[in-house]
Amino acid sequence: MQLGRNRRGDIFGLVAGIAFVGLACLAGLATAARQAQQQTAPPVGTPQYDVLITNGHIIDGSGNPWFSGSIGIKDGKIVDVGRLVNPTARRTIDAAGLVVTPGFIDLHCHSDFPLLVDGNGQSMLRQGVTTEILGEHASAGPILGPDREEVDRSLRRMGTSLDWTTLGEYFARMQRQGFSPNIASYVGSEQVWVDVIGTKKRRPTPEEMERIKGLVDQAMREGALGVASDLAVPPNAYLTTDDLIELSKVVAKYGGIYATHLRNEADGSPAAIAEAIEIGEKAHVPVHIFHFKYSGVENWGHIQSLIDEIQQARDRGVDITVNQYPYPAGFNPLRNVALPPKYLAGTVDEMLARLKDSQARDEIRADIANGLPGWDSDVREAGGWHGILISALLSPENRKFIGKRMDEVAQMMGKDPVDALCDLLISERMGGSAIYFSVSEQDIRRAMPQPWLSFGSDGGAVSPAMTWLGNPHPRYYGTFARVLARYVREDKVITLPDAIRKMTSQAAEITGLTDRGLLRPGMAADIAIFDPDKVEDKATFEQPMQYAVGFQYVIVNGTVVIDKGDHTGAHPGRVLYGRGKAHS
């Protein structure tokens, strides 16, 4: 019995000792926790967040339906999302009745130089775009050799100048100057080709091809997302499939992608898509197609065949995606509207000399009427000269033609349409731009719901003050608002959560921007807040320079840039680098 009592006492003592030690440990932990809290917690009265968004319908970019809650932002990042308890902030935005989404990513934008002129980027920000992807075929760097003079001449007409050489130096110039939206860029396949070979139609020597590949490699290490081409016009049209595979193999080393304006978007579209797929398969890179369409009146209603071609490639393991702008018309330099490729070769002076030759004009007429292998003019695709709308001309004496159809211009000039076009190009030194109506509204609607399709404006961040633009395509001002107003709210072609997914997380995934596109803690605070019942694109083909409406707030890297519908003048935009930057 005694032994039992002693054992019981020993057990009681052991338990008591454990309890005492446990209490001491807990007390120590509590003390340590209080000390840590004292060291890390903000002083009493210090706001928890820089910006707090409350009462909104949150659509987080994943494709999920909206949920109610708040978003806390601090130091440019999203810190908290959901039903927050007693949050405090330096600034609170009441989003009652509004939708809160990630900022939109424009997958195809031409703001490379307009943002140098005006860093506010208003036409894009006012429709919720917080990141623009630049650099299709003729990127802002590297710019070497004879091309520098022509680029500098163009920039001076805009009110700025060329003071950089490489893509990395362009990024540095932009960051020093300041701008409102974020930017990222491809390196253009045409750009590096012209840097080494110029504009003449010839094959590169093996040494020249190595130099071209070296320029792509350098651009990737400076932060390019991949390599991008526009194969419809010279000199980019001179690159063969094998050339593009070689350049794409370079970007594959850095986790980049191959993006392309197809070699043909009309009758030759199936073959052009097959070429893009082949490049992706042989170079082992993802492929992204700009402004997916089946152009040409005779092809309207047949886009399903192209959709099937892409889906079949995806089914066998090719990572291929596309983007779309929601308009029935394209936008091209005026010289690309009707001139066969051979007339676009060489320098500007060489082009002008050809257009002055009456025999060359007769050949152009015949080529427009009959087409050429691999080429159809925008005139044919638009169903005739009335399908071509003059949008921009630089010479004061030609401004009266802006907003006129090309057959109307010919009548005003008292000339045949080909003569009128050639004379207009001569007086503009091959400048000017035009809109051509060649896309079916039915095809736009059929393509839009495809899960691998996102959106790209093929426009730019501009403002009405940029008079040198003339009348740009309305997509510069309205692409994303038009999708939300017409195709989501009115016609219900796609749902709002899916539209937001396409504009945000899917676009980020395509380009490899891993810190954008979702409203999640740790992500960059790029956010759009809009009224889904009032969002609308105001820009038209006749009066394109009108900002979209309905976007109350737009936040870039945690800074409010659009505040109650007005631009604050803030420039919090950043250069977003591709994966190769980490290897530089």
Band of residue 584 on the pLDDT scale cut at 50, 70, 90: low
Band of residue 147 on the pLDDT scale cut at 50, 70, 90: confident
Which residues of 356-467 form beta strands (DSSP E)?
388-392, 433-436, 453-455
| 448 touches 291 (CB < 8 A) | no
Pairing of strands 129-134, 566-567: unpaired
For residues 140-150, give the mean pLDDT.
Answer: 92
**Integer Cα distance of 461 and 366 in angstroms:** 38
pLDDT digits (tens, 9 = 90+) for 159-193: 999 999 999 999 999 999 999 999 999 999 999 99
pLDDT digits (tens, 9 = 90+) for 22-51: 333 334 434 444 444 433 445 567 999 999
- Of 442, 436, 494, nearest to 302 (Cα)? 442
| 554 touches 124 (CB < 8 A) | no
**Integer Cα distance of 383 and 388 in angstroms:** 9
**Integer Cα distance of 526 and 7 in angstroms:** 68
pLDDT digits (tens, 9 = 90+) for 407-436: 999 999 999 999 999 999 999 999 999 999
For residues 267-294, give the mean pLDDT.
Answer: 97
Given a cut of 70, is residue 9 above it in pLDDT?
Answer: no
Looking at residue 44, what is its pLDDT? 60
Pairing of strands 104-106, 129-134: parallel
Burial 372-394 (b: 16+ CB within 10 A, else e): eeebbbbbbbbeebebbbbbbbe
Q: Which amino acid is at 39?
A: Q
**Integer Cα distance of 97 and 95 in angstroms:** 6
pLDDT digits (tens, 9 = 90+) for 478-499: 999 999 999 999 999 999 999 9
Residue 156 tokens, joined: 């001076």
Looking at residue 30, what is its pLDDT? 43
Given a cut of 80, is residue 81 above it in pLDDT?
Answer: yes
For the ranges 9-18, 467-476, 497-506, the one whose mean pLDDT is highest: 497-506
Q: Specify the residue for token string 């400048």.
A: 431
Of 27-31, 76-80, 107-111, 458-462, the poorest mean pLDDT is in 27-31
**Integer Cα distance of 338 and 335 in angstroms:** 7
**Integer Cα distance of 517 and 121 in angstroms:** 19
Helix (H) or strand (E) holding 30: helix 2-40
Q: Specify the residue for token string 């194969």.
A: 231
Burial class (CB in 10 A: 0-12, 13-18, 19+), 248: buried
| 516 touches 225 (CB < 8 A) | no
Looking at residue 371, what is its pLDDT? 86
For residues 350-358, give the mean pLDDT.
Answer: 95
Q: Which phi and psi (to 5°) does residue 514 adopt?
A: -75, -10
| Helices and strands: H and E segment counts in the chain | 20, 21
| 145 touches 192 (CB < 8 A) | no
Residue 514 tokens, joined: 């891993």
Of 107-111, 198-202, 303-307, the poorest mean pLDDT is in 198-202
Q: Identify the bridge partners of residue 560 per DSSP, sorted by sequence position.
A: 555
Helix (H) or strand (E) holding 409: helix 406-413
Q: Which amino acid is at 321?
A: T
Average pLDDT, the chain: 92
Band of residue 146 on the pLDDT scale cut at 50, 70, 90: confident
Given a cut of 90, is residue 554 above it in pLDDT?
Answer: yes
Residue 302 tokens, joined: 């047949």
Q: Which amino acid is at 456?
A: G
Domain ranges of the chain: 104-328+439-583, 332-436
Band of residue 110 on the pLDDT scale cut at 50, 70, 90: very high
Q: Specify the residue for token string 């939206």.
A: 181
Looking at residue 42, what is its pLDDT? 53
Which CATH class for the 104-328+439-583 domain?
A: alpha beta
Looking at residue 374, what is its pLDDT? 77
Band of residue 372 on the pLDDT scale cut at 50, 70, 90: confident
* pLDDT above 70 as % of the chain: 92
Which residues of 19-61 form beta strands (DSSP E)?
49-58
Looking at residue 8, what is its pLDDT? 29
Q: What is the CA 505 to chain-centroid distance, rounded?
A: 13
Distance from the first to the final alpha carbon of the chain = 80
SS3 188: strand
Neighbours of 316 (CB within 10 A): 8
SS3 138: coil
